[in-house]
Amino acid sequence: MRPLDENETTQVFEKLFKFVGSNLKNIVENPSHEGPDPNPGRYCFRLQKNRVYYVSESLVKRATNIKRENLVSLGTQIGKFTKTGKFQLTIQSLNLLAANAKHKVWLKPTSEMSFLYGNNVLKGGLGRITENINPNDGVVVFSMSDMPLGFGVAAKSTQDCRKMDPNGIVVIHQADIGEYLRMEDEL
Amino acid sequence: MRKKQKQKIVLPPELPPEVPDDEIQVSDEDLQFVDQNRDYAGFVSNLDTKSITKHVTRVADVKDDALESMYERRLRKKSADKDKEEDEVEVDPVDALPVKTLDGKLYYRTVPSAAKKSETEATAASEDNGTATPMVKLTKAEKRAKQKKLRKEAKKQVKETAQSDEVRQAPQSEVLDEVKKELTAEEANEKKKYRLAELGTALLVDPESNIKSLREMLQIAKDGDHSIVILGLKSLLAVFKDILPGYRIRLPTEKEQQMLVSKAVKKTRLYESTLLTAYKAFVQKLIALEEQAVYKRVAMRCICTLLEAVPHFNFRDNLLVAVVKGISSQDDVVRKLCCATVKSLFEHEGKHGGEATVEAVKMIAELVKVHNCQLHPDSIDVFMSLSFDEDLGKPESSEVDNKTKMKNSKKKRKLVEPNKLPASENKRSRQEIISKTREEVKADYKAASFAQDVAERRRMQSDTLSAVFQTFFRILKHAMQSLASSMGESFSLPLLAPCLNGIGKFSHLIDLDFMADLMNYLRKLAGAGSQKNDSHHLTVSERLQCCIVAFKVMKNNLEALNVDLQEFFVQLYGLILEYRPGRDKGEVLAEALKIMLCDDRQHDTQRAAAFVKRLATFSLSFGSAESMAALVTLRHLLHKNAKCRNLLENDAGGGSVSGGIAKYNPYATDPGLSGALASVLWELNLLTKHYHPAVSTMASSISTMNTVGNQVSHSNISPQQAFVQLSHEHESFIPASNTKKTSNKRKKGCSLSFPISSASKDELMTLADENAVRNKLSEHFLILDNIVENERLRTELYCTNMSLKLCEQYRKQKKRIR
């Protein structure tokens, strides 16, 4: 377990920024109420076995007691570095993203299932969409009852969505909560 | 006799022959009449003979002996030239006016008899002129012009005669001028007024034959006198308003003029051309006068009335230019007038077929462009009265249908024609002729028919629309630019508010392609004050309006796609706190609450909770109207979002319910991040003790919402209605008198019984209190009175006691002495 170096930090923050925009500040400055300290600590990012974790400082302190090769996980995993050195957000980060998301898409109940099987979001399945989405923005996908289902990348801007045909792709799938079942081993 | 004299007052001294009174024979009939009708004859005795004579011998400034000599000379002339007698009589005083030299001597012109004959013609002409003044009452300018002309003619005629004549003629005209100046201004004005009235009525009675007198009226209106000009303009306006035809006059081309036409046509043409030239002159005059400060309002009123009455007629453009210019005038009266005119122009499109609308809108757009958006708000407000026929979109499809039909029919024809080929040539040519005539008839019908071409109307509408939106977007852009460029500097955006109103009204007509930019601008404008720099450029109301407009635009255009306007919610969340009752418009806030929170179908739970919490806080700190609007919205939100009802529970939530944020953060700018679900709506408890019964009942009904369960009772009152209701009531509000409202609420459920009873108890209490206080006060004062009385009596008693003692002592002493 080690802190991220500069290169890794920029990669992580850039990725997060796509989804949460200026709310990134909230993520970094979020006070944690964990541990015995009367003063709330902060959350920080830690790298362990190519995976990036979002951990409270008190937890980091206590985790130092465990040998690196024995430490399986700590805090919330938010992503991992691939073998080529790129950073990827994983589905565990969904809660963090959903709370701070700038761009949201709500799915109709009929198309929820399709998304949870790993398919892209089509125009026809769109229940609602945040205004002012630009292509390549990170989008968090919700069910109509405001339950976060996953996230992806916008393929079209909100304006363009209007003119699209129902079969056009609005959000390109990146991760969904179906992965907890489908890819249990890999997570 | 005297009556006769009076009638002729106007006429220069054509005195009746002097007849001694005793020579006048009064007939018996007359005497009888006078006897019978004393009343009628009364005025005769009242007649001011002196003034009459003065008027009759009007050459008033001339000395008596001069007058005498004048009369003498007149007599001489009479004898000399009897055939011209009448004229001579009339012109005589004019002719005979003495000439005053610089050293003060008076020279009477003596007419040499030799030159007389040759001169007669000239004098006759000038005499005509002289006599014409009282009769026709020409304006001075015209008189002078006429004089000159006459003089020239006279000169021509007298050319052969001696030069001395010419020399004499010049002084004569000068003399004439002087005479005219001597006519007092008032009399002239009176005359002109009468003349105006006469001409006007004559024109109205029979415009065709009297059309020429328009010119004269115009001349009168050119007078130097203020009131005469105004009267002239007004009477001309009345006349034109009445006689202008319902069509546009097209002057015949040269080719047409060369053609032979019937008498009637010629007459009409003459009439029309005269009318047109007069109208043109009038319009030009109005526009010229409009520049002068004195006549500005009158001229503007005339222009506006004309434009309103005859928008179809020629020279509409000139009028429109003037009106549009006046639309942003500094003068309140002029501006109101112009705005009203333009509005009526927009509203009554049938009068001019919409062309004027297009022109006016384009002109206003140009005006806004030229003045760089620094105009009075009224100038944009007029757009609000524009109306667009939405059904006009439909003809497009029908046209397409037509086209396809045409194609079909062509195909059919093609199919049919080969069959008919074998038919005889004769038949075919006849068919062609028939179809040709049919087309001609159709074209003629189209030209003659009153109904407008649909395509034409559509074109005009789209022109109008594009001009309107061009203006709106220009204003928005200008606002953006000035926001960006001037940091901290104060500047005004007078047009922004009406512009936003307009966009809100016509939002359903905006092209989808503009939508992205429009929303972008609106977002920036709505957030204009919330940036960290302290200079809040836009007022809260304006920013709220931006939000409202954005929602309207979205609602009207995006039925298909449900777009969440998150950023505007963020703005509203902040704006609720920035609202100040006196400074900002509560109606706008109520509207924003209605449109953004009540009408929107879904909300995030987090966001809804944040708004619930903020509205509750808000309603604690402002007046009853605002808090009522907020509470209505709050109830609506709670009703829709079952999860948010956790806020009503008594323990601070948190954990899984409150989402990622464990603690309520009241200072968060984003409603989604405030963590409001972790808080408790303790404000409602305070609000139940609100002094206004309506608010307190509302608050208590909300706070019992959760315990009652899924309450179905849900009044459909909107925040706006609530706001208006309470703000109206506010003036006449007496805390204990609101029984009507509470009785309304009583129907809703038993859970409301508590506040009602408390309210009524309060009422009773106050009533009882009043009586008690009155009693106690009277008791108190009674006692006070008694005490005072008591004291007085006591002092009296004391005094008598003292005196008694003294008396006894005295007696004792007396006894001792004895």
Better pLDDT: A176 or B297: A176
Closest-CA residue of B relative to A108 is: B562
Contact flag A102-B566 (C-beta cutoff 8 Å): yes
A-chain residues near B676 (CB < 8 A): none
Percent of chain B with pLDDT over 70: 62
Q: How far is CA B809 from CA A139, B798, B815, in A?
A: 118, 16, 10
Indicate if the pLDDT at residue B782 is higher than 70: yes
Better pLDDT: B49 or A61: A61
Closest-CA residue of B relative to A144 is: B602
Contact flag B660-A96 (C-beta cutoff 8 Å): yes
The Cα–Cα gap between A65 and B351 comes to 91
Indicate if the pLDDT at residue B680 is higher than 60: yes
Residue-averaged pLDDT of chain A:
87
B-chain residues near A106 (CB < 8 A): 562, 564, 602
Tokens of B368: 């806004």
Contact flag A33-B662 (C-beta cutoff 8 Å): yes
Closest-CA residue of B relative to A124 is: B561
Indicate if the pLDDT at residue A152 is higher than 90: yes
Better pLDDT: B40 or B137: B40
B32-41, B74-83, B594-603: range with lowest mean pLDDT = B74-83
Tokens of B663: 């603690």
* Matching residue, tokens 């909560």: A177
Contact flag A163-B564 (C-beta cutoff 8 Å): no
Closest-CA residue of A relative to B519 is: A132
- Selecting from A102, A130, A159 the residue whose C-beta is nearest the C-beta of B516 gives A159
pLDDT at position B10:
47
- Selecting from B512, B565, B672 the residue whose C-beta is nearest the C-beta of A131 gives B565
- Selecting from A33, A99, A130 the residue whose C-beta is nearest the C-beta of B660 gives A99
The Cα–Cα gap between B377 and B335 comes to 11
- Selecting from A99, A104, A162 the residue whose C-beta is nearest the C-beta of B561 gives A162
Contact flag A128-B670 (C-beta cutoff 8 Å): no
Measure A94 CA to nearest chain B CA, in Å. Answer: 11
Is the ipTM value over 0.95, yes or no? no
> Domains in chain A, please, with CATH?
2-93 (3.10.450.220), 103-182 (2.30.130.10)
* DSSP assignment letter at B377: T
Residues of chain A numbered 46-85 and touching chain B (CB < 8 Å): none
Closest-CA residue of A relative to B563 is: A129
Indicate if the pLDDT at residue B445 is higher than 70: yes
Q: Which helix (H) or strand (E) holds B768?
A: helix B753-817
Residues of chain A numbered 114-153 and touching chain B (CB < 8 Å): 126-132, 144, 146
Give the mutation candidate from B532, B564, B602, B661 for the A interface (greatest A CB count, under 10 A).
B564
Check: CB of residue B364 under 8 Å from CB of residue B371: no
Residue whose C-alpha is closest to residue B212's, from B264, B157, B136, B161: B136
- How many beta-carbon pairs under 8 angstroms link A with B? 63
Collapsed DSSP state (helix, strand, coil) of residue B309: helix
Residue whose C-alpha is closest to residue B165's, from B115, B91, B106: B115
Measure B461 CA to nearest chain A CA, in Å. Answer: 25
Better pLDDT: B614 or B534: B614
Indicate if the pLDDT at residue B787 is higher than 60: yes
Predicted confidence band at B759 (pLDDT cuts at 50, 70, 90)?
Answer: very low
Measure B528 CA to nearest chain A CA, in Å. Answer: 17
Convert the pLDDT of each residue in B145-189 to its tens digit. 556 666 666 555 555 444 545 445 566 777 677 666 666 667 777
- Selecting from A129, A157, A161 the residue whose C-beta is nearest the C-beta of B564 gives A129
- Selecting from A96, A104, A161 the residue whose C-beta is nearest the C-beta of B561 gives A161
Tokens of B348: 């009554």
Contact flag B564-A104 (C-beta cutoff 8 Å): yes
Measure A9 CA to nearest chain B CA, in Å. Answer: 23
Q: What is the pTM of this model?
A: 0.59
Check: CB of residue B5 under 8 Å from CB of residue B14: no
A-chain residues near B561 (CB < 8 A): 126, 129, 161-162
Predicted confidence band at B800 (pLDDT cuts at 50, 70, 90)?
Answer: very high
Check: CB of residue B246 under 8 Å from CB of residue B312: yes
Give the mutation candidate from A34, A159, A163 for the B interface (greatest B CB count, under 10 A).
A159
B-chain residues near A158 (CB < 8 A): 563
Predicted confidence band at B129 (pLDDT cuts at 50, 70, 90)?
Answer: very low
The Cα–Cα gap between A67 and A72 comes to 10
Contact flag A129-B660 (C-beta cutoff 8 Å): no
The verdict on A165 touching B (C-beta cutoff 8 Å) is: no
B143-147, B187-191, B200-204, B727-731: range with lowest mean pLDDT = B143-147
Indicate if the pLDDT at residue A150 is higher than 90: yes
Indicate if the pLDDT at residue B637 is higher than 70: yes
A138-152, B514-528, B617-631: range with lowest mean pLDDT = B514-528
Check: CB of residue B552 under 8 Å from CB of residue B507: yes
pLDDT at position B14:
53
A-chain residues near B567 (CB < 8 A): 131-132
The Cα–Cα gap between B780 and A24 comes to 73
pLDDT at position B117:
45
Convert the pLDDT of each residue in B103-126 to its tens digit. 666 666 554 444 444 444 444 444
* DSSP assignment letter at B598: I
Predicted confidence band at B609 (pLDDT cuts at 50, 70, 90)?
Answer: confident
Tokens of B299: 């001229």
pLDDT at position B402:
46
Check: CB of residue B221 under 8 Å from CB of residue B229: yes
Contact flag A104-B560 (C-beta cutoff 8 Å): no
The Cα–Cα gap between A20 and B15 comes to 108
Check: CB of residue B641 under 8 Å from CB of residue B658: no
Better pLDDT: B24 or A8: A8
